[in-house]
Amino acid sequence: MGIGRFKLTKIRIKDLAPIILVMLLLFVSIACANMLIPSYASIQLEFLVPESLLAIPDAFFVLVSAFFALIWGYYTDRIDRSKIIMAGAFSWTFGMMLTAFSINYEMLIISRMLSGAGLGCVLPVGYSIISDSIPPDERSGWFGTLAILSSISNGVGQALSSFLGPILTWRFPFFLLSAISIVIVFVLFFVKIPQRGAKEEELIELTQMDLEYQYTISKEDLSSIIRKKTNRYLIIQSFFSIIPGTITIFFLTSMLNIYYFYQLPIEIRLQTATIFAGLLGVGYILGNSILSYLGDILYRKNKKNRTRLAAGCLIMSIPFFVLTLLLITPVQITDLDISYPATITTPDIAKYMFLTIGEIFTKYPNYIFYLVFGLIGTIFSAGPVANRNAVIIDVSLPEHRGTSVSFLNLSEQVGKGLTLLISYFLISLLGSIFNMMLFSTIFWIPAIILWILATRSVGKDLDAKSMILSERKQVSLLDYIFELEIQMDRAIQKVQDARYYILSRQDKFKTLLADAI
């Protein structure tokens, strides 16, 4: 690597600014997305809401986010992306502030919908900008890094709510992230966004000559995006594959808290449940780190390998996920060699929480296997996540990427939103949260089939995109040469005209010569 480059990437340091800023933006917005979950109990007490309605604000958040992602994504591919991302960032910042000031349950729902509208912008615009900043053979790695940040962000959002909420009220984390968002929005004014298609191999010559890729999306292109087989397979599989993850993220902490750790002191019960649920996220982070870069390595050998890797990983994740669930058992406080005080004071919460975690692993060895199998399962489950965005970006034309990601996000968010809307019906139907989580693994089967189909179509779609870009490059270069010849002819004519004024009118001579130059 040359001077001014990182060892692990070909991207120059000066070109990292938009990537870092967009990642920060996504980090904060995703933290906001799941921050309400641990505060359901507090919200239920404050607004006197039935338990069956607690997930409604988040369900509307997800559905509104999905709907607006499609609108934002289309205009991302059509007009200035800087304006779009500014508008979206303002929307979810305002939504978070409104959430913090909610005085009733109805206002909470409206504020979450506003936040969802903003998040629907940040995702497609962010992915579009990042894809134009990253070479094709590094996309899995960078999108895997983004998935890691998203996972950490989920954890940060829930941790802020779990640990600061009981002390400073559930509203404080929303105030905190609103302030951070305002700073990021301010910095956006000073960051240059890369041109569309800047890192495409077929368009490198245009970039080197400072020629802009002029193509933008039209309404007629929407059908062509859906007709592309790889896009269609990945969009549909996103609906199915998000269902088990949604149920796990939204209900594992609550399930542990209410049904398995219910004998623990109330001051540390939620925090302990959050940590046991969050430990599985470590595997997801490791999986994205390893499998995203493996996806790039395999892509350089064969451009179909990203889809093959994703399909294989999803197949492997199912048995480990099931084993992890089967290893969860209720914890009896009498089995723990800890003498709890009648009331645990705030300074002692961390002490008793970690003592409890240590005792659970000691007295209940099944939780060690819960952790091991859970880590392995979440490592494999990260394979499709790390590679799907790279695949859909790879097969899409530069002016289609925001919209393609929006369709992917729409499918995913609709799956997530519908899951949340019917979650309590499923709990009633199946008898428990545990049974619902176990049942959800069925939805990975159609997702696996669709990934296998994508391995058969991705090669043809990549070749078709490459051919279109090569033809457009030739047209752009011919237009440039033609325009250059016209300008040269005009310059020569002005030089010839200037000869007649070289002695008689010096000012006219200088003006014509300057125009010619």
Cα–Cα dist 422/52, whole Å: 10
What's this model's pTM, rounded to 2 decimal places? 0.77
Confidence at 454, pLDDT banded by 50, 70, 90: very high
pLDDT of residue 264 exceeding 70: yes
- Give the whole-number percent of the chain exceeding pLDDT 90: 26
Beta strands in 325-433, from DSSP E residues, in sequence order: none
Q: Which residues pair with 5 in a beta bridge?
A: 12
Cα–Cα dist 286/202, whole Å: 33
Cα–Cα dist 309/448, whole Å: 11
Which helix (H) or strand (E) segment holds residue 56: the answer is: helix 56-76
Q: Locate 130 and state its tokens.
A: 């990042």
Q: Which residue has better confidence, 254 or 449?
A: 449
Q: CA neighbours within 13 Å on the CB side: how many for 511? A: 6
Average pLDDT of span 276-286: 88
Cα–Cα dist 31/162, whole Å: 13
Whether the Cβ atoms of residue 170 and residue 89 lie closer than 8 Å to each other: no
Confidence at 365, pLDDT banded by 50, 70, 90: very high
Please tell me which of 158-162, 241-245, 345-349, 397-401 the model is most confident about, judged by mean pLDDT. Answer: 241-245
Q: Which residue has better confidence, 231 or 485?
A: 231
Average pLDDT of span 191-220: 71
Average pLDDT of span 365-381: 94
pLDDT of residue 506 exceeding 50: yes
Environment class of 421 (CB within 10 Å of its CB; exposed 0-12, middle 13-18, buried 19+): middle
pLDDT score recorded for residue 1:
38
pLDDT score recorded for residue 495:
66
> Phi then psi for 5, rounded to 5 degrees?
-125, 150
Give tens-digit pLDDT for 157-169.
Answer: 878 887 787 788 8
Which residues are within 8 A (CB) of 405 and not within 5 positions of it... i.e. 6 or more apart? 69, 73, 123, 124, 127, 128, 389, 392, 393
Cα–Cα dist 374/284, whole Å: 9
Cα–Cα dist 262/268, whole Å: 10
pLDDT score recorded for residue 244:
93
Confidence at 315, pLDDT banded by 50, 70, 90: very high
Question: Which residue bears the tokens 């990537």?
Answer: 19
pLDDT of residue 456 exceeding 50: yes
Average pLDDT of span 239-243: 93
Give tens-digit pLDDT for 398-431.
Answer: 888 888 888 888 888 788 878 877 888 888 899 8
Average pLDDT of span 198-223: 72
Whether the Cβ atoms of residue 295 and residue 305 lie closer than 8 Å to each other: yes
Average pLDDT of span 14-38: 80
Question: Which residue bears the tokens 């969802």?
Answer: 116
Mean pLDDT estimate for the chain: 83
Q: Which residue has better confidence, 134 or 430?
A: 430
Which helix (H) or strand (E) segment holds residue 136: the answer is: none
Residue type, 217: I
Average pLDDT of span 352-366: 93
pLDDT score recorded for residue 330:
94
Q: Locate 184 and state its tokens.
A: 């990021």
pLDDT of residue 483 exceeding 70: no
Average pLDDT of span 343-352: 89
Confidence at 151, pLDDT banded by 50, 70, 90: confident
Confidence at 346, pLDDT banded by 50, 70, 90: confident
Which residues are within 8 A (CB) of 104 and not within 5 positions of it... i.e. 6 or more apart? 47
Confidence at 2, pLDDT banded by 50, 70, 90: very low
Phi-psi category of residue 5: left, alpha or beta, with phi > 0 → left and psi -120 to 50 → alpha: beta
